[in-house]
């Protein structure tokens, strides 16, 4: 038996043609003009019709892209705006928005897994670890790979707390992450120069070599972060200028970044000059530092060179893939690299580096030859190809 209530009134409001919310015909799309600066908004004309689920998904994307709090959907200003822009849209609660954002993550995860499965390339990883103010250790793992359309992809695979910064703990977390994503082919892992990362790379090399997922049994797996090395070199040089830096910091306090502090100090050069006129001791200190500046800079350069040689002075400590990338670049090739190395070091050292580089090129060619030429006869391709004349030797 049907009970009396407000159900009939609710049905009437939803179907009444005089209701302003029901004026728009949802069965027919509206023309949308192309918009610049909006992803997917450039190009030809498109059609639009109201879709509650599509609006919720777009709202979740906005929350994530603009890094807004989930409670933003419950703010008074946003509610007023949506009432004007799209009164038919039912604004979800912060709890519903949290679920929608997590669903976006699950959907993107499926897409990335499919992309990794369909891509025939190897994956390069970069890792970064740090400790928060709450003394919690975190690890971020980013994957770089080239898909079948020759497009470079950069995807964050994991951002998680870790038990410690010990190398084996980091290696275990990376291994678990790769297994969850179904990644078994690694090319390089870029890490900073902490000794714990050497242990982590050794752990990954031991685990992935039996699976056949590494190039040359992990010979090129360890890639030292170039930005971190440059930072170490600069910090080593600034140690010799600590007194000068401390003086500037004393005048411009509350700076966390040394570079930003010194860059700002240059803009206040005239203020320093006036301070010089009013404080004779300040002028005396500047004059003394000016007279000693050449010596200080010489010592600073020597210290920076020592730090440079520690990481880049010996070819045995460098990952040769950086040189291989230069050789494969059509703008540089082998001759340019040979010229550059001869300018940077002695002729004997340059010859040694070039010999090792050529050996690495042959090894990499042999590594990739079976999948590339599996249908060809062995006599059609020679592995010992002259590097200077690859087209004449390999042309059939």
Select from 364, 365, 342, 363 the least CA-distant residue to 353. Answer: 342
Give per-residue pLDDT as tens, 173-202: 999 999 999 898 899 999 988 888 899 999
In the chain, % of residues over pLDDT 90: 26
Q: Are 232 and 193 in contact (CB under 8 A)?
A: yes
Which residues are within 8 A (CB) of 303 and not within 5 positions of it... i.e. 6 or more apart?
236, 237, 239, 240
What mean pLDDT, rounded, does the chain reach? Answer: 78
Whether 150 and 198 share a structural domain: yes
Q: Are residues 307 and 359 in the same domain?
A: no
Q: Is the distance from CB of 139 to CB of 128 less than 8 angstroms?
A: yes
CA distance 228 to 234: 10
- Give me the residues paired with residue 21 across strands: none
For residue 21, tell me if it sits in a domain: no
- pLDDT over 60 (residue 74): yes
What is the radius of gyration, based on Cα positions, of the chain? 31
| Residues 128, 220 share a domain | yes
Q: What's the token pair of residue 381? A: 């391709």
Last residue of a domain, one of 284, 312, 340: 312
Residue 208 lies in a domain: yes
Distances (CA, A) of 339 to 50, 227, 330, 353: 63, 25, 15, 12
Indicate the helix (H) or strand (E) that contains 31: strand 30-32
Query: Which DSSP string corresponds to 91-151?
Result: PPPHHHHHHHHHHHHHHHHHHHHHHHHH--S-EEEEEEEEE-TTS-EEEEEEEEEE-TTS-
Identify the helix (H) or strand (E) that includes residue 244.
Answer: helix 242-251
In the prediction, which pLDDT does 240 show?
Answer: 65
Read off the pLDDT of each residue in 15-29 and give the average, rounded to a whole number: 62
pLDDT of residue 228: 84
Same structural domain for residues 130 and 145?
Answer: yes
Q: Using the predicted structure, report yes or no on whether residue 219 has a pLDDT greater than 60.
A: yes
Q: Of the residues 247, 282, 312, which one is the last residue of a structural domain?
A: 312
Q: How many domains does the chain have?
A: 4
Q: Which residue has the tokens 């990954």?
A: 204
Domain assignment present for residue 28? The answer is no
**The pLDDT of residue 326:** 85
- What is the pLDDT, as a whole number, of residue 65? 92
Which residues constitute the domain of residue 188?
120-224
83 shares its domain with 141: no
Q: Are residues 192 and 97 in the same domain?
A: no
Lowest-confidence segment of 65-69, 91-95, 133-137 by average pLDDT = 133-137
Out of 100, 118, 136, pick the residue that ends a domain: 118
pLDDT at site 224? 87
pLDDT for 300-352, tens place per residue? 777 777 777 777 777 777 888 888 888 888 888 888 888 888 877 778 888 88
Count CB-CB contacts under 10 A for residue 246: 9
End-to-end CA distance of the chain: 86
Residue 344: per-residue pLDDT: 74
What pLDDT does 233 receive? 80
Q: Are 176 and 163 in contact (CB under 8 A)?
A: no
Whether the model pTM is above 0.85: no
**Residue 396 pLDDT > 50:** no
* Locus of tokens 């590594």: 367
Q: Give the burial class of 113: count Cβ atoms within 10 A of its Cβ; 0-12 exposed, 13-18 middle, 19 or more buried.
A: middle
Note whether residue 341 is domain-resident: yes
* Domain assignment of residue 92, yes or no: yes
Whichever domain contains 192, its CATH number is 3.30.420
């Amino acid at each position: 038996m049907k009970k009396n209530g407000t159900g009939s009134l609710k049905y009437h409001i939803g179907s009444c043609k005089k209701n302003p919310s029901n004026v728009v015909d949802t069965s027919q799309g509206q023309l949308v003009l192309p918009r610049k600066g909006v992803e997917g908004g450039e190009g030809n004309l498109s059609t639009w019709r109201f879709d509650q689920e599509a609006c919720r998904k777009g709202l979740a994307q906005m929350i994530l892209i603009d890094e807004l709090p989930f409670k933003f959907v419950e703010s008074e200003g946003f509610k007023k705006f949506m009432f004007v822009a799209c009164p038919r849209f039912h604004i979800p609660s912060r709890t519903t928005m949290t679920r929608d954002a997590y669903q976006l993550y699950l959907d993107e995860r499926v897409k990335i897994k499919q992309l990794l499965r369909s891509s025939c390339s190897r994956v390069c990883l970069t890792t970064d670890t740090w400790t928060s103010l709450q003394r919690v250790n975190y690890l971020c793992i980013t994957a770089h790979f080239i898909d079948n359309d020759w497009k470079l992809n950069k995807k964050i695979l994991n951002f998680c707390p870790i038990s410690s910064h010990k190398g084996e703990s980091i290696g275990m977390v990376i291994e678990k992450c790769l297994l969850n994503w179904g990644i078994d082919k690694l090319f390089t892992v870029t890490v900073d120069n902490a000794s714990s990362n050497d242990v982590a790379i050794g752990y990954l090399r031991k685990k992935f070599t039996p699976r056949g997922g590494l190039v040359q049994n992990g010979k090129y797996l360890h890639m030292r972060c170039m930005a971190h090395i440059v930072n170490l070199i600069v910090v080593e040089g600034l140690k010799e200028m600590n007194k000068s830096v401390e003086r500037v910091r004393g005048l411009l306090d509350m700076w966390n970044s040394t570079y930003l502090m010194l860059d700002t100090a240059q803009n206040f050069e005239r203020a320093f000059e006036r301070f010089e006129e009013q404080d004779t001791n300040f002028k005396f200190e500047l004059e003394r530092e000016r007279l000693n500046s050449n010596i200080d800079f010489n010592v600073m350069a020597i210290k920076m060179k020592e730090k440079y040689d520690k990481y880049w002075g010996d070819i045995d400590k460098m990952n040769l893939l950086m040189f291989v990338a230069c050789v494969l670049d059509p703008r540089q090739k082998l001759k340019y690299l040979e010229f550059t190395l001869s300018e940077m070091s002695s002729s004997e050292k340059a010859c040694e580096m070039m010999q090792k580089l050529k050996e690495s090129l042959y090894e990499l060619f042999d590594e990739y030859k079976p999948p590339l030429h599996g249908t060809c006869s062995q006599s059609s391709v020679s592995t010992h190809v002259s590097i200077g004349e690859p087209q004449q030797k390999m042309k059939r």
